[in-house]
Amino acid sequence: MSNFNKQYQAAQPLEGKDKLHWRSLQLCFFIIGLVLFLLLIVMPETGVLAFWNILIPVAPLLFLLSTGFWRNVCPLASVALIPTT
């Protein structure tokens, strides 16, 4: 039983440079999401092409290759985490 506890401990919060790197990456993805949203409003043709030809093919690839990565950089999830920082 103690071996099980050693393997599945909760992750430690990020600190220092690691936290700064994640926050920077989250900010980049938030800006990308905002730009895509604005493209869909201002230039719908370009926004729809970017959404369907870039975001939709890339998102499942991120889920497949690194599940935790998308959870940490998703613009909606990043906004939900703002009150906890």
pLDDT 10s digits, 31-74? 988 999 999 999 999 999 998 998 888 878 877 877 677 767 67
Q: Among 78, 68, 85, 70, which Cα is nearest to 13's?
A: 85
Are the C-beta atoms of 56 and 47 separated by less than 8 Å? Answer: no
| Count of CA atoms in the C-beta half-sphere (13 A) of 40 | 11
- For 69, the token pair is 């990565």
Are the C-beta atoms of 12 and 57 separated by less than 8 Å? Answer: no
pTM: 0.64
Separation of alpha carbons 58 and 33, rounded Å: 13
Average pLDDT over residues 12-35: 81
